Amino acid sequence: MRPLGYARVSTVAEAVEIVATDPAGAFLAGGTTEIDLVRLGVARPDLLVDINDLPLHDIDDLPGGGVRIGALARMSEVARTPAIAGRYPGVAQALLLGASQQLRNMASMGGNLCQRTRCAYFRDGVSPCNKREPGTGCSALDGLNRGHAILGTSEHCVATHPSDVAVALVAFDAVVHTAGPGGVRRIPIDDFYLMPGDTPDRENPLRHGELITAIDLPPAGIAERSVYLKFRDRQSYEFALVSVCAAVRVEDGIVTEARVALGGVGTKPWRARLAEQHLLGVPATAESYAAAAAYELSAAVPRRHNAFKVELAQRAIVRGLTQAARGGMR
């Protein structure tokens, strides 16, 4: 049995200092992902620093109508907060569809953003995997890749990011706040997730010892009619084959603004900016939505087992935009 140290802290500064000074130290919040990876031998910290006593649980209104979510706020609490459910229903629905009730009660928002891929080759601890052991290869390229990415891939990695709520946060330009050895930072969430390129082991720009402290959702009137749809192999707790967060503003039958983000198809939560651009100024019809979806997915690189995701993602975009234009889920 490998020894594992444990420490409990009460201030952000203390947490950052302890982890930053231990090359094998790691933060522990809800533990719904970290503990699994430790048990599997994929994560090998020698010290877990429990941050649950830190004052990072609050959910507060921001001037102008935005919301600040503390990094330790639990998924279930955020989903039922009136400011989230009312102003950002797509975010609330992504949280509700993201895990079972038990996991939502435990999992923190900051931890959810940092969770690792569910790729079986990454998690088995023995298969060649550039994300786990750089330079060993990617077993999914020619292996079982039904659940893998078709956008943002490279010859080194085709793993998807599993978070549901990150997809909705990307759609509405959330900002991640951090504290680390070098001070505090504000990172736009679309920059928080990195595509694999030649360094698939590097999934985000966090430095060792840098801790997420909050997530800001800026004011976005369009978000009030947003939807989050998730397509998966079963309706009970399961990761997405394809998911979409969509919102659209229509004036006199013409699209004047659109937000679209995809999950289950990208190596990072995928902001569908090509589709958004294609939608501006066109009639708010299923045909227009389908054309925009096809434009976004034209860059897809499917593998042997996941070519079905191209059409599924296009249909998901059309359904999401159609439902959002009709008034969302409420």
Residue 208, phi-psi category: left (phi > 0), alpha (psi -120 to 50), beta (remainder) = beta
Percent of the residues in the chain that have a pLDDT greater than 90, as a whole number: 92
Pairwise pLDDT comparison (292 vs 125), residue with the higher score: 292
Quickly state the pLDDT bin for 33 (edges 50, 70, 90).
confident
> Is 90 exceeded by the pLDDT of residue 237?
no
How many angstroms separate the CA atoms of 237 and 202, rounded? 28
Output the pLDDT for position 1. Answer: 60
Quickly state the pLDDT bin for 262 (edges 50, 70, 90).
very high
Q: Which residues pair with 186 in a beta bridge?
A: 177
Output the pLDDT for position 3. Answer: 84
Question: What mean pLDDT comes out for the span 178-194?
Answer: 98
Contacts of 276 by beta carbon, 8 Å cutoff, 6+ apart? 258, 259, 260, 292
> Is 60 exceeded by the pLDDT of residue 36?
yes
Phi and psi dihedrals of 173, rounded to 5?
60, 45
Output the pLDDT for position 327. Answer: 82
pTM: 0.96
Sheet holding 242-251, edge to edge: 227-231, 242-251, 254-263, 270-271
> Is 60 exceeded by the pLDDT of residue 329?
no
Q: What is the mean pLDDT of the chain?
A: 96
Output the pLDDT for position 27. Answer: 97
Tens of pLDDT, residues 215-235? 999 999 999 999 999 999 988
- Tell me the DSSP string of 239-262: --SEEEEEEEEEETTEEEEEEEEE
> Is 90 exceeded by the pLDDT of residue 236?
no
> Is 60 exceeded by the pLDDT of residue 197?
yes
Output the pLDDT for position 238. Answer: 87
> Is 80 exceeded by the pLDDT of residue 78?
yes
How many angstroms separate the CA atoms of 136 and 223, rounded? 42
> Is 60 exceeded by the pLDDT of residue 330?
no
Output the pLDDT for position 2. Answer: 76
Structure tokens of 11? 């201030």
- The domain spans of the chain are 5-53, 227-325
Structure tokens of 244? 């979409």
> Is 60 exceeded by the pLDDT of residue 37?
yes
One of 1.10.357, 3.30.43, 3.50.50, 1.10.10 is the CATH number of 5-53, namely: 3.30.43
Let me know: does 30 contact 220? Beta carbons within 8 Å.
Answer: no
| Count of helices and strands (H, E) across the chain | 13, 12
Question: What mean pLDDT comes out for the span 241-250?
Answer: 98
Percent of the residues in the chain that have a pLDDT greater than 70, as a whole number: 99
Output the pLDDT for position 20. Answer: 97
Output the pLDDT for position 56. Answer: 98
Looking at domain 227-325, its CATH architecture is 2-Layer Sandwich (3.30)
Burial class (CB within 10 angstroms; exposed 0-12, middle 13-18, buried 19+) of 309: buried
Output the pLDDT for position 252. Answer: 96
Tens of pLDDT, residues 100-114? 889 999 999 999 999
